[in-house]
Amino acid sequence: MSKDITITELKVLIPKAKIIDIRDNYQFNLGSIPTSINIPMNFLLTNPSIYLNKNDTYYIYCEHGSRSKATCNNLTKQGYNVINILGGYSEYKLT
């Protein structure tokens, strides 16, 4: 089971955190969490070793948090250090 972080906790880490937005490109282009990169969920799950290093920690989000939670659970089982951002981008927009 993967770990979770709130938007408030994440904001302190934003300058240095490796943040991944797994939404589709068009959603990312409409707005994103600062410093995040866009790797759509299907690309990330199909071949995570292209995008992730098992020695690094990544913070992952989607629009509301459900797809990112499932993605984090999958990647955690594969040995990646990933943390789900609770509430996703919709929660970030509220803060």
pLDDT at 11: 93
Average pLDDT over residues 78-86: 98
| Residue 62 belongs to a domain | no
- Taking the C-alpha atoms of residue 76 and residue 64, their distance in angstroms, rounded to an integer, is 20
Q: Is the pTM of this model over 0.75?
A: yes
Domain-located, residue 58: no
Length of the chain: 95
Closest among 83, 76, 81 to 56, alpha carbons compared: 81
Q: Greatest CA separation found in the chain?
A: 33
pLDDT of residue 66 exceeding 90, the answer is: yes
Q: Which residues pair with 24 in a beta bridge?
A: none
66-83 average pLDDT score? 98
Domain assignment of residue 17, yes or no: yes
- Residue 85 predicted with pLDDT over 90: yes
In a domain, 80, yes or no: no
Q: Which domain holds residue 32?
A: 1-53+67-73
Looking only at the bridges linking them, the beta strands covering 37-38 and 57-61 are unpaired
Question: Could you tell me if residue 81 is inside a domain?
Answer: no
Query: How confident is residue 88, by pLDDT bands cut at 50, 70 and 90?
Result: very high
pLDDT at residue 51 in the model:
98
Residue range 2-26, pLDDT digits in tens:
899 999 999 999 989 999 999 999 9
The domain tally of the chain equals 1
- Residue 23 CB: number of other CB atoms within 10 A? 22
